[in-house]
Amino acid sequence: MPFAGMDIGSTMTKVVITDEQEKILASHIGPTGAEHRHLALRVMDETIKKAGLSFDALDFVVATGYGRINVPFADRQITEITCHARGIRSLFPSARIIIDIGGQDSKGIKLDADGKVANFVMNDKCAAGTGRFLEVISETLGINLADMGDLALSADGFVQISNMCTVFAEHEVTSRLAEGAGVAEIVAGLHEAIASRVVNMTRHLGIEKDVVVTGGGAKNKGLVRAIAGRVGFDVLTPPEPFITGALGAALVGGDFYGRGVRPAKERKKEDVTFFL
C-alpha cells in the first residue's frame, strides 16, 4: 500500500512515497517552477518510477506547502505545519520543538507529548531569517551559498550584523568589508543574526528538548551551530532536511487510509493529464 506526499514550497518541490510500514520507497527534490500543475505531475511521475510503481498504484496522495491546491490528483490538501510535525515525529519521537527554515519563510512548531501540534509561529512577511536572506548576501560577498556554513565554522569570532532587512543588511555587509572585517567572520555574524531572529520567534512557544531544525537551513552547519548556541543545547537535524514535509504528507495519507478513508475515485494518469 504505497502513500505519496507532495510538498510544493516556495523554492523547492519535494515528493516522498512510503509504504504501510512508514518506510520511504522513493523521494525526489527539485526546484519549484511557475507551472505548479505541470510540475506536480512531472515530479510525481519521476518519483513513482524510482519506486518501481505505477501512477494508479498509489493508495492515497496528500499535497502540502504553498502550492498544495495545484495538485489535481491529491486526495487531500493539508497544511505544512501538520505535515512537518508528522514527518519530524516519525524521525524523532522525542521532538518537542521544530524550527523550519525554508527558502522564503521560517516557522517554529511546538509539539505536545503525543506529537500533535500544540502551537506555532511563522515569519512569512519578509526574507529575514530565511534561506533567501543568505542567498542574497552570498551574492553580495561573491561566494557560493553552499559554502557559507563551512565558512562560518572556520571563522575566528563573528562580526555583529544589526540589520535583518535584506537591503540594509547588504549595505551593512559592504560597510564591514570596507572596514577590513574578514569574510568568514561576516558570514558567521549573518548566521548569528538569523539564529537570533528565529530562536526569539520560537521562544514564545516555550523552548524545550528536543529541538529539531529542518528545511534547507538545516543543511547549513554554521546556522545549525548558531541555533544550538542560542537555545543553549545541541539540536537535531534529519538525514535529509528538505523532505520532512513531504514525508509527513505521505504518512498523513497513510493515517487517512488506516481510518478507512479512500480516494473519491480511481486514480488514472490519463485523467489527470487531460486537465493540464
Tens-binned pLDDT, residue by residue, of the chain (276 aa): 899 999 998 788 999 999 999 999 999 998 887 776 777 888 898 999 999 998 889 999 999 998 898 888 899 999 999 999 999 999 999 999 999 998 888 999 999 999 999 999 998 667 677 778 888 889 889 999 889 999 999 999 999 888 777 778 888 999 999 999 999 999 999 999 999 999 999 999 999 999 999 998 999 999 999 999 999 999 999 999 999 999 999 999 999 999 999 887 776 666 555 444
Alpha-carbon distance of 230 to 258, in angstroms, equals 40
pLDDT at 96: 98
Is the torsion defined by CA of 212, 213, 215, 219 positive or negative? negative
Question: Dihedrals φ, ψ of 99, to 5°?
Answer: -110, 110
Nearest to 81 by CA among 125, 32, 120, 113: 120
Contact 52, 66 (CB under 8 A): no
Q: Is 97-237 CATH 3.30.420.40? A: yes
Tell me whether the CATH fold assigned to 3-83+244-274 matches the one assigned to 97-237: yes
pLDDT at 152: 94
pLDDT at 36: 67
Q: Which CATH number fits domain 3-83+244-274: 3.10.28.10, 3.30.1360.120, 3.50.50.60, 3.30.420.40?
A: 3.30.420.40
pLDDT at 274: 45
pLDDT at 147: 92
Alpha-carbon distance of 139 to 56, in angstroms, equals 44
Residues in CB range of 121: below 8 A, 6 or more apart: 107, 108, 201, 202, 204, 205
* Domain locations in the chain as residue ranges: 3-83+244-274, 97-237
Q: How far is CA 240 from CA 12, 59, 75, 243, in A?
A: 13, 24, 25, 6
